[in-house]
Amino acid sequence: MFPTAAWPRDAGPALFVPMHAGDEILGSLTVANRHDRSMFTVVDIARVKTFAAHASVALEDSRRQAAAHRLNTLDEDRQRVADALIDTVVGRVSSACLRLHGLLGDSLPAEATDRIWETIDELDAAIKFVRDAVFPTP
């Protein structure tokens, strides 16, 4: 073993216990005695292994919490975008439909009235599509 700045010069017996979650290696827990101390006992080894197992569970739990937080943030962003989309785009398209409805009160040729109704139907279908895409029903 090569000494590094983080490894004490007076290190003696050492334990290196792997930390893992399922098949994934998270790291290792290292415990060292000074060179003038005795070897680790079976009880010491069992304690270090137990501690490493608990630390692995804590690390995995922390990762899961971070992942859940990221998902919550994404969901909040999606909801914010959805609300903005509904408020602006659907609001403007609905307003255009109402203006077209207002034109129907004027005396217009039958062909123009039919084309306005077709346009209103297309805009209503577009509104429904946007609402269904943003807020899908199960």
What does the pLDDT profile of the chain (138 residues) look like in tens digits?
A: 555 556 777 888 989 999 998 889 999 999 988 888 889 999 999 999 999 999 999 999 999 999 999 999 999 998 888 888 888 888 899 899 999 988 887 788 889 899 999 999 999 999 888 888 877 787
Is residue 90 within 8 Å of residue 130, measured between CB atoms?
Answer: yes
Is residue 47 within 8 Å of residue 31, measured between CB atoms?
Answer: no
Cα–Cα distance for residue pair 24/22, rounded to 1 Å: 6
Q: What is the pLDDT of residue 1?
A: 53
Q: What is the pLDDT of residue 4?
A: 55
Q: What is the pLDDT of residue 119?
A: 93
Cα–Cα distance for residue pair 116/104, rounded to 1 Å: 8
Cα–Cα distance for residue pair 129/131, rounded to 1 Å: 6
Q: CB neighbours of 117 closer than 8 A, spacing ≥ 6?
A: 104
Q: What is the pLDDT of residue 64?
A: 93
Q: At what angle do helices 110-134 and 91-103 cross, to 10 degrees?
A: 160
